[in-house]
Structure 1
Amino acid sequence: MNKSKVYFSNLRTNSNMTLLQKLDRLVKKAGIEEIDFNEKFVAIKIHFGEPGNLAYLRPNYSKVIVDLIKSNNGKPFLTDCNTLYVGRRKNAIEHMDAAYENGYNPFATGCHIIIADGIKGTDEAIIPIEGGEYVKEAKIGQAIMDADIFISMNHFKGHESTGFGGALKNIGMGCGSRAGKMEMHCSGKPVVKQNKCVSCGACKKMCAHSAISFNEYKKANINHDKCVGCGRCIGTCNFDAIENFEYAANDILNKKIAEYSKAVLSGREHFHISFVVNVSPNCDCHAENDAAIIPDVGMFASFDPVALDMACVDAANKQVVIRDSYLGEKEQHTHDHFINTHPETNWEVCIDHAVKLGLGNKEYELIEV
């Protein structure tokens, strides 16, 4: 197999070239304009950042891509799916409030935001996965699958469950509906926190499998013999009284992310951009971000999300660890910054499974722009 091309630009600027101009030049050199955008809907998958976290990508970057797509007569929109966990992005209303708070609004980005899986995370498309070992049918946010073209913009950083979060993590986990995220994260089924249940009955009305009933204290219970683990009751509960408790092993999670990525990308044109900046030890889903573990590296772009992730992790691992960071305070057991940061993870599992599924190539040619 021929090496995939990954394009790279450092972060040096001068009076004649800003970072935004460098991003525009990078993606054009990488071939983004080879895509026929004319009159097509273009989903730009991005993480809007949990309020309180300041490591997420600035909205200025997204406007560069939006403007380029519009100049090619495309119809772009920024998108993400609701979270499984409790936070400021667990339903579409709060999610959009959080996005606006973090600067993602039509005036700053030049396009609208659509939360792909709807108000409560139940608006999903069921997509068969050819060759899926753990998932046969992925549950993807409907608006993402309605788009003609898919583009991902990724903040490359550490992750406590997958080692790092890059293109594949942003695509696979990020595009899953609430039920999809439940399927990837968990091997079990949700439970009710009795002290938080207010007996409103909303979860029972939502359950399509008659798995929820109320006990003598008027508290909800979930019958796991009937429950299919879709997670819709989690999104329905306005009081955060329902949670998942049996998390899948990290290796299985990584493989499911690769399989979900295949569901998102198969059968349509796609392009991917990653920013190795503010490389925090944990995900942008945290309502805080710890100090960066390595210096900023630059911007990367490719049609191949696997090669892109490999190029980013290779570049990151060449960097000197910042001494006073979370990683700098830990023992360095390997030459891999992300395994040293989260020793219980192995990011290569996702990469290798993605290659097996035909999503891309680990071998790449790095072209500096």
Structure 2
Amino acid sequence: MRQTVAVVGGGYGGIEVARALDEVADVVLIEPREDFHHNAAALRAAVRPDFAHQTFIPYDKLLVHGRIERDAAQQIAPGQVTLASGRTIAADYVVLATGARHPFPGKPAELDTASAIASYVELQTRIAAADRIVLAGAGPVGLELAGEIKAEWPGKEVILVDPAPAILPERSAELRTEIERQLADLGVTLVLGAALPASFKVAPGDVAPFTVELTDGRSLSADLWLRCYGADPVSDYLAGSLQTARLSNGRVRVEDSLRVHGHDRVYAVGDITDIEEPKQAVAAMAHAAVVAANIKADLGLGEPTVYEPPGSSILIPLGPSGGAGEHPGMGVLGAEPTAQYKGADLLLGHYAQVFNR
């Protein structure tokens, strides 16, 4: 008798767990979005209205045997998922893959595709109307969005503001130098060691000319600003004994097998885990491989394994032909390999194959 596996969340980690177990278990993939959102390409959608629709891919061809439940998890306890619709799904295994909420345009708030695309198209018109744009946060999201804006509108002023004294402080000095060089060539201004004050009331995404005093006393004027930092893990649905594994920051405590602490048949992958590593799609996919292997081992179809965080790599496109990254054993990668591996099509071709389009 086949075991039922409920995979809660259809993002990068969830789809890989579902695909890997589709042949050996009754997989139920629970996801409230109408279509998969390839948010790794979302920042280009913010500047090109003809691009947004490409970042949404239907789930209908992802699984051969399993099924998709378009619904949200309202409460999860071991062996049972209660949906927002009121229905319940009994499961032998539960995989938590609900990720994190990110500010728009990193992820859209809308769950239906037409409304989400409309939000990107509207943002594009607002960016087009602004001459001077502040991006709050000089991490990977802010850097990539700056590159996308400059690729589409080279004449716009783009200012990156971040409270840290340097961009990408956890990365190598060589990578920082290369990114800073390309930003200078693009004409992007870096304002580091300062942030927008907590009292700042202009809504992100509104074209509303403003002048603001930053936290270090410097004055800054612009027409529009966007928030490019902050992620909130989605785990408030945990109930019963699972609540004890939820930490105060919303992350979920996991063992090296990626089982949720204290539970043999509940796993977690991706951004909600408490693993100290960059929260990237590549990590979620690596988690998925471990979880699938361990569930298969329980079914007598292989050997159990543990997750060992790999050496950290990153690729930051700065528009379709720019950017830089680094990978263990390869050092710093410049604009050409970054564009080749990621920037040119932002992995859209890869995900079209994943979803059998």
Q: Which TM-score band applies after superposition, normalised by the shorter structure?
A: under 0.3
Question: Whose relative contact order is higher, 1 or 2, with alpha carbons under 8 Å and at least 6 apart?
Answer: 1
- TM-score norm. by structure 1 comes to 0.25
- TM-score norm. by structure 2 comes to 0.25
